[in-house]
Structure 1
Amino acid sequence: MFRRGRTPKGIPVGKDGYVPRRDIVRRFQEIGDFRDSESDDSVILPGKLTPEQIAEWWENPSVCDIEGIDTKESDIYSVPLSIRGKKRKALKRIAVLSDRKESDRIKKILADSFTAEELEEMAEGRSLMVTVQPHLRDCTGFYLRRQDGVPVPEIVLEEGTTADGIVHEAVHHLRAREGRSAFPTRNGVLDQGYRRLPKSERDTIVGREEKETVAETVARTRIDPVESGYYDRIPGQSSRAAYLHDQEVISGSKALKGRAAVKAAERNYGRTSISRAILSANRKGKR
């Protein structure tokens, strides 16, 4: 019987004896050449592979392709035909692990909410993975910033998450890439010293990061049917009323992008309801 773990070469293996698809994609994002997904190699391995079968590709993904991973028709790197130019090129580097319909929906939301330059920044280097799961226990999504044990930044979303939730997690990534994150970050990588900080300091960092991210998300999106769960943490105000207040205060319910979105969130933050939310590092909201 197989147990999930790693082979002597460090290749992850699932309970079924095969390398999990998510780990294969992560490896390609980490060391692969994104140009490989623009054409098919003469040698294409099947999508289900044991550590022994994938070993050569694991060391150098350019030696061949894996069906559905770095092949031309891979759903993971597909981009809706309506998205053109620089945005299309950037989104081709962002891996979305879901079916084609959900992937197209997510990438369309990203294209609508960020400028081409912002998407290019988000897709720089090891880029970004977006993993979609049928159900998450107590949230609709979360962001795993690059750090020890997380070689590639990753957004995990519950299937069907609305634009507000998708953009919220993407804003976390953009803030990390641009050096605007409240977390101590260097070149997009979480500083190892963060885990050693006193809980009170970590609470302050988490609270600031989440609240500022909520504000910027509001600036980038129109009124959403599902507001961030962090709006539940505002004393004396219903979550929906607080959210609608912030939509009006931050952007007049307009969807902004780029510096306009960032400046609107920063300039009006002190007047927002979300700035009064009470958060902590060990109590996550629905975003």
Structure 2
Amino acid sequence: MTDLPTVRGRLTPQRDLSDLTWLRVGGPADYLFQPADIDDLADFLKALDTDVQVFPMGVGSNLIVRDGGLRAVVVRMGRGFNGIEIDGNRVTAGVAALDSHVARKAADAGVDLTFLRTIPGSIGGAVRMNAGCYGSYTADVFVQATAVLRSGEIVKLSADDLQFHYRQTELPEGAVITSAILQGPSGEPAELHQRMTDQLAKRDQSQPTKDRSAGSTFRNPAGFSSTGKADDVHDLKAWKVIDDAGMRGARRGGAQMSEMHSNFLINTGGATAADLEGLGEDVRKKVYDSSGITLEWEIMRVGDP
């Protein structure tokens, strides 16, 4: 890789990424860049050779980095990008602020962003993946995001710019989100906190929260509605078609589809990225063979085998 621009933050060559992902697998990135602030990030991207790939990484909660690592500069935000400010019903959160922390802070101020409480990860990932649960999605509360484009330009992105869809957005290639403004309805703080307590209890009863996982592995299949309409609806659940294909508890090496929730891929200990992705592909094949449904990955997989 060519010489990289000087930075005020931290730039680490050949940084192993396995300890930065929830599944604890993956090889090294060519470089890991932790910018000091938004200007440091903008200056770096502007001066960086355009041939060098840039990969923005959150807290690694929805990510498999393959065993060969990433031929890229991985940009990971930390301190300086995790602030939370509240003005009326608008919450401005840094990209590194955890979803759960944003939900709690908002509830303290009487703003209902409770659906974020049980979503693993940070606000950057929530925006990037249009994260949601309990019938609410990030798109429902999104106002605006600030991002740095690959050219180094600092821009404001609207919902129209991001083109929110189910579990995805159209973020410009190489762009790095730095903060987002969310606006939720009003609520009584005590009631909002109680709702989140109930949500956590419900999650812990149905999901393997104590295991090493990356949340839901596959998106719920599109086009299946309880009313029979073939629309962009997702009434059919991924766990159901995985169960029907006989893949609950399936294993490959140290990887397993959870016995508790069959749409959760877990590292039982010693799994490689190849084990995890390979098991996921085994599941996709079995589901297709048994039902004709092609499951789409919700976990992002990046890097070289």
Higher strand share: 2
TM-score (norm. length: structure 2): 0.28
Q: Which has the higher contact order (CA 8 A, sep 6+)?
A: 2
TM-score (norm. length: structure 1): 0.30
